Amino acid sequence: MANPSLQLPAEARILEFQERIFGFYASSARRFPWRMTRDRYAVMVSEVMLQQTQAERVVPKYLDWLGRFPDPGALAEAPLRDVLMLWSGLGYNSRARRLQECARLVMEEYGGEVPGDPALLRRLPGIGRYTSHSIPAFADNLDVAAVDTNIRRILIHEFSLPEDASDRALQEVADRVLPQGRSRDWHNALMDYGALHLTSRQSGIRSRSRQSKFEGSRRWYRGCVLRELLEQGTVPQDDLMLRHAACPGGIGSVVDELVRERMVEYVPGGSENGTLLRIRE
């Protein structure tokens, strides 16, 4: 088990590290539309989209999303079909559903304004420690350190930390090296440093979770089911069973999972073709 605490870096070492990261950022900063906004909702959308998805792929979807759902109210009221159609291509479709659930809770509990307090953000569906810190860091320049896969890799490499360092220990180091008053630029700089310079291949440091083969996986079959429902409206469950007989664990369990997640529902009454499925209305 990883030691919960580590020796924190000395002040001189921190200053050198900050200077180097900001120096890299000054010459190599990337430009993305979400870096141009201070709106917490827009930042939340970008942060959810960027989870396990390359930034370049996110840009057009982000712009289309804000064009169609410019605020929490618009997203909260939208049919789930529209939400999933727009999300299509980003993968991990459950993120779209959770984002809509976030919007609805924001409308119900926070008067339509995404909160800036990390503790309140953690109450929103699908918002974990990293995102609850990154949203106010980027939107409000709040002095709170956010640690994702890239930043974890940088901290481990730069300060010679063990790769099995606990989340708590890494958070302590991240808090220690955060330059006060420059949280937004600092996190953008770290993101660019990790994406362009200190990559996983360059550092040899592996992420904690490694993605398995996608095609033929349960996640792949989830996407197949949702895509068919979006394209056809309703689909007989028996047809899915026949087409996707090779699904690990059975396509029926995938359907059950989507129903539990409130993404798919059974059509009342069914049809002469048996039980029908559709995107939840």
Domain ranges of the chain: 11-30+143-203, 33-140, 218-279
Mean pLDDT, all residues of the chain: 92
Q: Which CATH class is domain 218-279?
A: mainly alpha
Superfamily for domain range 33-140: Hypothetical protein; domain 2 (1.10.340.30)
- Say yes or no to pLDDT of 246 above 90: no
Instruction: Round to whole Å and give the CA distance between 213 and 211.
Output: 7
Architecture label for domain 11-30+143-203: Orthogonal Bundle (1.10)
| Whether 142 contacts 116, CB under 8 Å | yes
| pLDDT higher at 43 or 215 | 43
Residue 225 corresponds to which tokens in the numbers above?
């089911």
Residue 220: which pLDDT band, with cuts at 50, 70 and 90? confident
What is the average per-residue pLDDT within 178-184?
Answer: 98
What is the average per-residue pLDDT within 71-76?
Answer: 98
Residues noted as catalytic: 47
149 to each of 30, 48, 85, 123, how far by Cα in Å?
18, 14, 28, 22
| Whether 61 contacts 191, CB under 8 Å | no
Q: What is the pLDDT of residue 2?
A: 45
